[in-house]
């Protein structure tokens, strides 16, 4: 009887994912949901054939160099792979996969929540009611920004960006977007394409970020670009915290150049940036873009599908390195 490949689930995953993994692999579970250090990842690599990590496990060039040659595949439980040095992993002969498609709608829903929450002062209002401080009402009380008939800019018109575009159709928003390449008319659905980020920013009453974190996009929203947006614009980010220069955004929020922001991701995670905590005009979430039961099950299944294909001698569907 052929022994099963040894698979390490780096974090506690959905029940359905863990049950399927236990059925098909010799699994090393993380029942306490411990976040492993680089040294612990390297040590564990001596015991396993495959690793199924989340975004919290970082495979830098140094970590990759020290990984055991036993590891043959890293099947990520995420779409983003900026926690993996793909060139180093490729050079070491380790296959890398991700989980696209299955979390687009869930993440777009969170983007919608962030846009609405920021525009209508949701966190500020919630705090007021909970604190017992709501003791008056007037025509100028908690006035926010209306989305209907405004212009929405989307940076990165991949699966999530297009899912958001569908969600906002009911708000009669005018959609403008920047992407590395223009979409086909069928996918574009009447949205206006711009061949530079700067041109999109100039017309964006609302802006939602949906591009990956790459050397080219880190710090994308800096002081200069924030200043290009219409005064009083609203920014939402569900992609990666590193896309935004947080100091620049805090300045823009304090000055009113940016009226409000909705953020699900931060440069430093977990924890976020405490400077945002002092601002009423920021709606904050703890990186929960894909956090629905349906999506987390689907992500786990997609990662296991990639592992199954690899160990069957086939090309994994979602190979990125």
Dihedral (Cα; 212, 193, 170, 167), 10-degree rounding: -20
Catalytic positions are: 240, 269, 287
Surface-to-core class of residue 207, CB atoms within 10 Å of its CB (0-12 exposed, 13-18 middle, 19+ buried): buried
Q: Are 17 and 29 in contact (CB under 8 A)?
A: no
Q: DSSP for 167-218?
A: HGGGGTPEEEEE-SSPPPHHHHTTPEEESSHHHHHHT-SEEEE-----TTTT
Q: Are 299 and 99 in contact (CB under 8 A)?
A: yes
Cα R_g (the chain), whole angstroms:
21
Dihedral (Cα; 25, 28, 31, 32), 10-degree rounding: -150
Ramachandran sector of residue 33 (left: φ over 0; alpha: ψ -120 to 50; beta: rest): left
d(CA 83, CA 213): 10
In this structure, what DSSP letter does residue 243 have? G
Q: Are strands 206-209 and 233-237 parallel, antiparallel or unpaired?
A: parallel
H/E stretch holding 139: none
d(CA 299, CA 311): 19
Please state whether the peptide bond connecting residue 245 to the residue before it is cis, i.e. omega within 30 degrees of 0: no
Nearest to 8 by CA among 46, 63, 64, 38: 46
């Amino acid at each position: 009887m052929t022994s099963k490949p040894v698979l390490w689930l780096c974090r506690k995953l959905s029940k359905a994912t863990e049950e399927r993994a236990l059925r098909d692999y010799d699994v090393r579970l993380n029942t306490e949901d411990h976040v492993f250090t680089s040294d612990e990842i390297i040590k564990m690599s001596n015991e396993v054939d495959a690793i199924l990590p989340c975004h919290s496990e970082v495979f830098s060039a140094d970590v990759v160099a020290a990984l055991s040659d036993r590891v043959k595949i890293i099947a990520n439980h995420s779409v983003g792979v900026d926690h993996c040095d793909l060139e180093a992993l490729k050079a070491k002969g380790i296959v890398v996969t991700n989980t696209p498609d299955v979390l687009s709608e869930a993440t777009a829903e969170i983007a919608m929540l962030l846009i609405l929450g920021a525009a209508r002062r949701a966190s500020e209002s919630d705090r007021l009611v909970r604190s017992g401080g709501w003791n008056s009402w007037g025509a100028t009380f908690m006035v926010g920004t209306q989305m209907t008939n405004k212009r929405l800019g989307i940076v990165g018109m991949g699966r999530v960006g297009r899912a958001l575009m569908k969600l906002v159709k009911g708000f009669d928003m005018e959609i403008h977007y920047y992407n590395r390449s223009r979409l086909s008319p069928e996918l574009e659905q009447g949205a206006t394409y711009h061949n530079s980020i700067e041109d999109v920013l100039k017309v964006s009453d609302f802006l939602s970020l949906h591009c990956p974190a790459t050397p080219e996009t880190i710090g994308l929203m800096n002081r200069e670009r924030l200043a290009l947006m219409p005064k009083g614009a609203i920014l939402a980010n569900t992609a990666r915290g590193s896309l935004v220069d947080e100091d620049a955004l805090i300045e823009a929020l304090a000055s009113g150049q940016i009226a409000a922001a909705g953020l699900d991701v931060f440069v430093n995670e977990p924890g976020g940036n405490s400077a945002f905590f002092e601002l009423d005009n920021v709606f904050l979430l703890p990186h929960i873009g894909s956090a629905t039961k349906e999506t987390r099950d689907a992500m786990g299944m997609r990662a296991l599908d990639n592992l199954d294909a690899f160990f069957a001698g086939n090309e994994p569907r979602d190979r990125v390195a």
